[in-house]
Amino acid sequence: MMKRVVIVDDSRAMRAWLRAVLDRDPRLNVVGEAENANQARQIIKETKPDVITLDIHMPGMSGLEFLSRLMRLHPLPVVMVSAATKFGSEATITALMNGAVDCILKPTGGTDAKTSRDMARRVFSAACSSVRPSGKAHSFAAPTLQPPDGGPQPIILIGASTGGVRALEVVLRDLSPDGPPVVIVQHMPATFLISFSKLLNRKLDQDVGLATDGGCLGAGQIVLAPEQGFHTEINRRNGRWVTYLRPNNERVAHCPSVDALFSSATPFGHDVIGVILTGLGRDGAEGLLQLHRSGAQTIGQNEETSVVFGMPRAAWEFGAVDHQLPLEHIGQAINAAVEKHGRRPHRLVR
């Protein structure tokens, strides 16, 4: 069945461009257009779309304000459309944290066929996603964890895609601020990723930034894999965790790849906690299976709380997941895994 799309944008040219891109996909049917929030409300009521694309900047009620009302009164999948500017990227991250499913960049020039297909694919994926009414998610008190006495420090690796911005905030805020380092691959354009890391750094007690080549990691540190055509991998040097950026020499769907991050950690499996969150596709499933087989503790998000149950489903079906949990319980499960690691017999630190 075709998915019904409503385009909300104050630019007639942008609405025409989006319609042309989306109409090329036989799975999508653009059933309406609106240039402001008032029009959008009426058209949504009349056409009952499966997904809407929403511009950040509109006259009158902004895209962010309209999204907030929509998620509260009539939740449905929303894909934000934003310019590649500092303000645009920050507003888009706020929208993703407030319930939007995905984001796409407005074109600055010509758009090739591959980019157009990817945009249509992401809108279709959003139309198939599960959206819950907005509300304050339950938050646990983050415990203070005692570091293992003389043993190797564990590391937490997380992979996420569609719906991951909101999910990551929920998980990370429940982690101990002085806990093990965290390395994250979140599929997202570089412009948005920088704003996301800055926003997390403001919201969390931990130190949040982007991974660097040869960067050493310590307790209370969170890094996101940069989107620069490199995979982010980890190793251990003189007992400390280190991130490395490896050129993308393979033909893979995603770079950075969750699989690449997870696979790089298999030599240290007993000291790894691997987590796979909401997302489209299968990236991370094979890598998590390798981690699981190497002795890592593994956690996956359940279907009921996933925006898109693709990556977690694939990992679960592979047998890579020790514990499949609701999003609100994953942070506490990670803390429990860290404490369990501390009770294990110490191993030689490589």
Is 143 part of any domain?
no
Q: What is the DSSP track for 182-237?
A: EEEEE---HHHHHHHHHHHHHHSSSEEEE--TTEEE-TTEEEE---SSEEEEEEEE
- Domain shared by 294 and 167, yes or no: yes
* Pairing state between β 215-217 and 240-247: antiparallel
pLDDT value at residue 110: 65
- Amino acid at the residue 222: I
Are 174 and 298 in a shared domain? yes
Domain that holds residue 48: 3-127
Lowest-confidence pick of 38-47, 82-91, 111-120, 121-130:
82-91
86 and 195 Cβ atoms separated by less than 8 Å: yes
| 174 and 287 share one domain | yes
CB-CB contact of 7 with 34 (8 Å): yes
Q: Is 134 within the bounds of a domain?
A: no
CB 301 within 8 A of CB 325: yes
pLDDT digits (tens, 9 = 90+) for 62-102: 999 999 999 998 899 999 988 766 677 888 899 999 999 99
Q: Are 202 and 175 in contact (CB under 8 A)?
A: no
The answer to whether 22 and 121 are in contact (CB under 8 A) is: no
What is the average pLDDT across 1-28? 95
**Are 54 and 167 within one domain?**
no
Return the bridge partners of 275, or none. Answer: 158, 299
Residues 6 or more apart whose Cβ sits within 8 Å of residue 11: 55
Q: Is the pLDDT of residue 260 over 60?
A: yes
Instruction: Count structural domains, the chain.
Output: 2
In a domain, 138, yes or no: no
Task: Output the pLDDT for position 144.
Answer: 46
236-271 burial, b at 16+ Cβ within 10 Å, e below that, comes to: beeeebbbbbeebeeeeebbbbbbbbbbbbbebbeb
Q: Known catalytic residues? A: 161, 187, 283
Q: Give the β-pairing of 221-224 and 155-160.
A: unpaired
Whether a cis peptide bond, with omega within 30° of 0, leads into 256 is: yes
**Confidence check: pLDDT of 138 > 70:** no
CATH number at residue 18: 3.40.50.2300
Verify that 64 and 185 share a domain, yes or no: no
Mean pLDDT value across residues 199-206 = 95
Over residues 151-202, the pLDDT tens digits come to 689 999 999 999 999 999 999 999 999 999 999 999 988 888 999 999 999 9
Residue 22 resides in a domain = yes
pTM of the model: 0.88
The helix or strand, by DSSP H or E, that contains position 126, with its residue range, turns out to be helix 113-127
Residue position matching structure tokens 């995979």? 231
Average pLDDT along the chain: 90
What would the pLDDT profile of 27-38 be if each residue is shown by its tens digit?
Answer: 999 999 999 999
Question: Is the predicted pLDDT of residue 290 greater than 70, yes or no?
Answer: yes
Distance CA 77, CA 194 (A): 24
Q: How far is CA 21 from the centre of its chain?
A: 24
Residue 300 covered by a domain:
yes
- Band the pLDDT of 336: cuts 50, 70, 90: very high
Q: Compute how many other C-beta atoms are within 10 angstroms of the C-beta atom of residue 288.
A: 32
Are 203 and 328 found together in one domain?
Answer: yes
